[in-house]
Homo-oligomer: A and B are copies of this chain.
Amino acid sequence: MQSIDVRNMLNAIITLTTDFGLKDPYVAEMKAVILGINPDAKIVDISHNIEKFNIRMGAYVLAAAAQHFPKNTIHLAVVDPGVGTKRKAILIETEKAYFVGPDNGILALAAEKQGLKRVHKLSNRKFMLPEISATFHGRDIFAPAAAFLSKGVSPSEFGPVIRRIVKPKFAEVTRKNNILIGEVIHVDDFGNIITNITSKDLEELRLKLAKNVKLKLKDAWLKVRLCSAYAEAKAKTPIGIIGSHDFLEISINMGNAAEIFQVKTGDKVTVYRY
């Protein structure tokens, strides 16, 4: 039996994460569709500046932000190079929230972090716009789904349960003796280089705050101190820091680390204890 839906529909929050940029009408069209269906929806932008077609970056940014939103928030994410093909449209229920978007990995990282409960395929035409373009499912399928969900439509009404979803391909951190091998998962607007190496990974190497570590970052060798605040380091000196999302970041106080070391998402990072 389907459990009764006890969401409080007042103040339903719908977040948006896309690679649409902020110049075009596209983001506003999605908001227009949402507000047409649920005038009381509170829409919060996470980011519309995900790199075009970069599903991994979208997955990372969504996962970083989603964990801070209140219970029952609906997260709508569209980085969708496969729009108009047979990739599925899905709705994920987690212990805490809802995720709506294409089944290409963009939702999986955030959803798994929150405890995945059930996934529905979006197939019920009743909850889509009457005309569906082949190029803009964000507006025609995902925005209406999020809006109807925010009005209390039960997830099971959107379509059948499916068992498997696509996951974004992030490298796992590997450890060999005194070495951790990971990769750059995001470069932020400050130029901070965010890796997939967590504080737990560093602890297993008995690396902790105030220690120096040796790093290979793409082609450059660095020796950095593990700090807890950017300003602990001298200006223009690279440091290692456990950032606000519990990942190892390579930063330069008052400078742009990614520019200086010419690093981008996907580049390899090796940490040595010595």
Binding site for B on A (CB under 8 A): 10-11, 13, 15, 20-29, 31-33, 35-36, 39-40, 42-50, 52-53, 61-62, 64-65, 68-70, 73, 81-85, 133-136, 139-140, 186, 188-190, 228-232, 241, 243-244, 253-254
**Given A81-B254, A244-B133, do A22 and B47 touch, yes or no (CB 8 Å)?**
yes
Known contacts A35-B44, A42-B35; A82 and B22 CB within 8 A of each other: no
Complexed CA–CA distance, A228 and B132 (Å): 11
Question: Closest residue of chain B to A186, judged by CB?
Answer: B24
Residues on the B chain within 8 Å of A44, using CB? 28, 31-32, 35, 43
Main secondary structure of the interface of A (DSSP, over half): loop
Distance of A122 from chain B, by nearest CB (Å): 17
Could you list some 12 contacts between A and B, CB below 8 A?
Answer: A21-B190, A23-B49, A24-B64, A24-B188, A24-B189, A25-B64, A25-B65, A28-B46, A29-B68, A83-B230, A134-B228, A135-B228
Chain B residue contacts of A31, Cβ below 8 A = 44
How many Å from the CB of A12 to the closest CB on chain B? Answer: 10
Beyond A24-B188, A82-B231, A84-B231, 8 additional contacts (C-beta under 8 Å) are A23-B188, A24-B61, A25-B46, A28-B44, A28-B65, A29-B64, A35-B70, A84-B228
- Tell me if A85 and B25 are in contact (CB < 8 A): no
Verify A61–B25 contact, CB threshold 8 A: yes
Contacts of A139 in B (CB 8 A): 68, 244
Question: Using Cβ atoms and an 8 Å threshold, which residues of chain B touch A189?
Answer: 20-24, 52
Question: Would you call B135 and A65 a contact (CB within 8 A)?
Answer: no
The residue of chain B having its C-beta at the shortest distance from the C-beta of A61 within the complex is: B25
- Given A23-B49, A68-B36: A81 and B231 interface contact (C-beta under 8 Å): yes
Residues of B within 8 A of A24 (CB): 47, 61, 64, 186, 188-189
Shortest Cβ distance from A32 into B: residue: B68
Q: Which of B11, B62, B135 contacts A230 (CB 8 A)?
A: B135
Q: Are A135 and B64 in contact (CB under 8 A)?
A: no
Q: Are B40 and A11 in contact (CB under 8 A)?
A: yes
Q: Which residue of B lies closest to A131 (CB)?
A: B244
- Chain B residues with Cβ below 8 Å from A65 are 25, 28-29, 32
Using Cβ atoms and an 8 Å threshold, which residues of chain B touch A32? 44, 65, 68-70, 73
Question: Across the interface, which residues of B come within 8 angstroms of A61, CB to CB?
Answer: 23-25
Give CA–CA (A42, B25) in the complex, Å: 18
CB distance from A6 to the nearest CB of B (A): 17
Q: Are B232 and A84 in contact (CB under 8 A)?
A: yes
Cβ-neighbour of A83 out of B28, B188, B229 (below 8 A): B229
